[in-house]
Amino acid sequence: MIRPGTEQDIGAVQEIARQSWRSTYADILPVQVQQIALDKSYSSVMMQKRIERTILLIAEHEGSPIGFANFTKVDEDGDAELIAMHIKTEFQRNGYGTQLMSYGIEQLAGGRQLSAFVEADNEIARCFYEANGFVFIQEFEELLEGYPVYTAEYILSLQHEKTPAL
């Protein structure tokens, strides 16, 4: 089941993010960089802002949160961003990511495009985005908490060509 996130989900989202980051980035990012990024991005204050200002979705299995996705709202240009998506390791590849993505896209009705940025060495996420219709745009270098990383940018068109009425 996919549902909107609430303040009661903050602890679960923080734990899912920690577990997912440890698993995903173990061989990609130093542990200290991971911890600093997690502490900043998933602090209680930041999570409260996410709930108030963005679209936070929770994936549940048997009534317990096992994943989440976080989207910005559509801006005046029709653009939105997938800020984060994390699924507990033992529930990955079971369709929860696709369900979160579909539900999130429904919330972006009227939007033009959805962007996603992912660490370039995160092959699991890159394959997921490509399998869900995202198009690779570019790769660029940036700093994550002072550590150089390569980031891949993906775009998904949210506008579908309309069939002309006959």
Bigger pLDDT: 89 or 136? Answer: 136
pLDDT at 2 over 70: yes
Spatial distance between the Cα atoms of 45 and 50, rounded to a whole number of angstroms: 9
% of the chain at pLDDT higher than 70: 96
Name the strand (E) or helix (H) holding 165: none
Q: What confidence score (pLDDT) does residue 160 get?
A: 62
Stretch 53-62: mean pLDDT: 97
Confidence category of residue 163, pLDDT binned at 50, 70, 90: very low
The residue ranges of every structural domain in the chain are 2-157
| pLDDT tens digits, 114-127 | 999 999 999 999 99
Alpha-carbon distances of 119 from 25, 35, 66, 72, 153, rounded to whole Å: 9, 16, 22, 19, 9
Name the strand (E) or helix (H) holding 1: none
Q: Which two tokens stand for residue 34?
A: 């991971």
| pLDDT tens digits, 4-56 | 999 999 999 999 999 999 999 998 999 999 999 999 999 999 999 999 999 99
Alpha-carbon distances of 122 from 20, 66, 112, rounded to whole Å: 12, 20, 26
Stretch 142-166: mean pLDDT: 81
Q: Which two tokens stand for residue 164?
A: 């002309």
- Quote the mean pLDDT of the chain: 93
Q: Which two tokens stand for residue 59?
A: 């994936």
Spatial distance between the Cα atoms of 47 and 93, rounded to a whole number of angstroms: 26
Q: 2-157, which class in CATH?
A: alpha beta
Q: What confidence score (pLDDT) does residue 122 get?
A: 94
Q: What confidence score (pLDDT) does residue 159 get?
A: 81
pLDDT at 164 over 60: no
Phi, psi of 51 (to 5 degrees): -65, -40
DSSP H helical segments within the chain, as ranges? 10-25, 31-41, 44-53, 96-107, 123-131
